[in-house]
Chains A and B, each alone.
Chain A
Amino acid sequence: MIRAEHITKSFDGRTVLDDISVEFRTGCTNLIIGRSGSGKTVLLKTLVGLHEPDSGAVWYDDRNFTALGFRERKAIRKDIGMIFQGGALLDSSTVEENIKLPLDLFTDQPEAEKRERVDFCLHRVRLEKANRLYPAELSGGMIKRVAIARAIVLNPRYLFCDEPNSGLDPQTSIVIDNLIHEITQEYHITTIINTHDMNSVMEIGEQIVYIHEGRKGWEGTKEEILHAENKALNDFVFASAMAKRAREW
């Protein structure tokens, strides 16, 4: 479980997150949704410690992450996997080296065992035989899969995904969404996905938090979101022509 308590964050005097409190449950896919510029990414980065909140606290189970020092945070970070919007694979390393890096740095496993683990993770994301390729040789969907493989290589307890299907076609998006959902349930981890893709919301959104202008605008499930009485949320959810027609039906 990850809990944000009264998180506030400003940049150059501009408040980006305003008193956000939310709890993300273990074993289900928690979605943070909202318009571009609403503060979703800042919230996600604050949760993982890339941004320090001006006030408030982030709890990982019973540990107050915000109050911890570098060394204590490092211990928690080994339990964190993160998938960035652009994949954030190291350009100068092959797929195998990218996935193996956390193993190299934080385990004393023999090389053969590490390779086996890399192959397992690649198999898990259905991307066999890509070990020797460089990120520049991969398609958008493949990059996301490698990023997922790297994120799960150390068996994380917490998985963060920043717009995991941005820039992907609808079919590949569904594949990536389902993969994250499967992994979440298989390993019973706390997964937080940052997205503005309504397909993702309807496919895998078990708990949804809507962020509007830096504040928590709404919270609920994918079944509840279609009937929510929140104008800003409705404008967001039913923005596309297809969603409007679906609502009319």
Chain B
Amino acid sequence: MLRIFELIGRYFILMGKVFSRPEKAVIYRRRILYEMEAIGLDSVGLTAIISIFIGAVITLQMCINLESPFVPESMIGYATRETMILEFSSTVVALILSGKVGSSIASEIGTMRITEQIDALEIMGVNSASYLILPKIVAAVCFFPLLTILSIGIGIVGGYLIAVATDIMIPSNYVDGILVDFKSYSIVYSLIKSAVFAYIITSVSAFFGYYAKGNSLEVGRASTRAVVVGSVVIMIFNLILTQLLLI
């Protein structure tokens, strides 16, 4: 228990260093753009592939399980849309990206730690925590909501395509369903969640990488811990945010 409090304390001390005043804004702007490409753009393909298949699978599952004369077929489109917006595109995509982006950040920063690259920055008088971590956090918090929008769109298209391809339902009913009872607040909720999850993924994985010690084995362990802890924290905050924002 004491170890958990120690970890949390060290995490907040690190975040204090991360959010201290940057050395030179222009350098950070350049690094943020670089990180947006590394963290954000490079995740577009994975997000798109997963979203299209999940959208299609949700539609298929709904078709199979909601087969009833009392339930209009358009409800399938509605359910697919709501699932994508409320849960999949923010939470599940975040969990998947926690594996991809989180492990990449933890191993990158962990390797920098054990090869003394972070020490080299400190010797130069650079706030290494801020220089390395802040651009990643800013890039992810800005870019993940865009990935969420992309995921919602592609997931809904995936559902439509499976309806067209398999004739499991009438595609126009699916389109009617996705237009029913649309609440724009659901999108806001989803975007808030994805921004929070982006912060969790980048900061938690950077934390484990930054304090990695020893050799490459330790970097691997730090990377694994970053993904596991990041995923658990995402689930906890998913619950908290749902309670706060929807209920």
User: Which residue of A is nearest B38, CB measured?
Assistant: A92
A194 CB, nearest partner CB in chain B, Å? 13
Q: Is the CB of A102 within 8 A of B124?
A: yes
A73 contacts across to B, CB distance below 8 A: 125
**Dominant secondary structure at the B interface:** helix
**Dominant secondary structure at the A interface:** mixed
A80 contacts across to B, CB distance below 8 A: 123, 125
Contact partner, B116, options A78, A84, A92, Cβ 8 Å? A84
Q: A86-B116, A88-B115, A91-B117 are in contact. Are A106 and B125 (CB under 8 A)?
A: yes
Docked complex Cα distance between A114 and B135 (Å): 23
| Binary interface encoding of chain A residues 104-134 relative to chain B, with 1 for a CB under 8 A from any of its CBs, else 0 | 1110000000000000000000000000000
A110 CB, nearest partner CB in chain B, Å? 13
A50 contacts across to B, CB distance below 8 A: 119, 122-123
Q: Is the CB of A82 within 8 A of B120?
A: yes
Q: Is the CB of A105 within 8 A of B123?
A: no
B117 contacts across to A, CB distance below 8 A: 88-91
B46 contacts across to A, CB distance below 8 A: none
Contact partner, A105, options B23, B108, B120, Cβ 8 Å? B23
A14 CB, nearest partner CB in chain B, Å? 16
B116 CB, nearest partner CB in chain A, Å? 4
User: Which residue of B is nearest A104, CB measured?
Assistant: B27
**Total contacting residues, chain A, CB less than 8 A:** 24
Q: Is the CB of A84 within 8 A of B120?
A: yes
Q: Is the CB of A105 within 8 A of B126?
A: yes
User: Which one of A85, A101, A160 has the highest number of Cβ atoms from chain B below 10 Å of its Cβ?
Assistant: A101
Q: Is the CB of A104 within 8 A of B116?
A: no
A92 contacts across to B, CB distance below 8 A: 108
Which residues of chain B (118-150) have a CB below 8 Å from chain A? 119-120, 122-126
- The verdict on B3 contacting chain A, using a C-beta distance below 8 Å, is no
A55 CB, nearest partner CB in chain B, Å? 22
Q: Is the CB of A77 within 8 A of B27?
A: no
User: Which residue of B is nearest A154, CB measured?
Assistant: B124
| Binary interface encoding of chain B residues 19-32 relative to chain A, with 1 for a CB under 8 A from any of its CBs, else 0 | 00001100100000
Contact partner, B124, options A45, A77, A89, Cβ 8 Å? A77
- The verdict on A63 contacting chain B, using a C-beta distance below 8 Å, is no
Which residues of chain A (65-82) have a CB below 8 Å from chain B? 73-75, 77-78, 80, 82
Docked complex Cα distance between A84 and B108 (Å): 19
User: Which residue of A is nearest B20, CB measured?
Assistant: A70
- The verdict on A43 contacting chain B, using a C-beta distance below 8 Å, is no
- The verdict on A57 contacting chain B, using a C-beta distance below 8 Å, is no
Q: A104-B24, A104-B27, A105-B23 are in contact. Are A77 and B125 (CB under 8 A)?
A: yes
| Inter-chain pairs besides A84-B119, A88-B120, A106-B125, 12 sampled, C-beta below 8 Å | A45-B119, A73-B125, A74-B125, A77-B122, A78-B124, A80-B125, A84-B116, A84-B120, A88-B119, A91-B112, A101-B124, A105-B125
Sorted nearest first, the 3 A-B pairs with minimum C-beta distance are A77-B125, A88-B120, A88-B116
Residues of chain A having any CB pair with chain B under 8 Å = 45, 48, 50, 73-75, 77-78, 80, 82, 84-86, 88-92, 101-102, 104-106, 160
Residues of chain B having any CB pair with chain A under 8 Å = 23-24, 27, 108, 111-112, 115-117, 119-120, 122-126
26 A-B pairs with CB atoms under 8 Å apart are: A45-B119, A50-B119, A50-B123, A73-B125, A74-B125, A77-B122, A77-B123, A77-B124, A80-B123, A82-B120, A82-B123, A84-B116, A85-B116, A86-B115, A88-B119, A91-B111, A91-B112, A91-B115, A92-B108, A101-B124, A102-B124, A104-B27, A105-B23, A105-B24, A106-B23, A106-B125
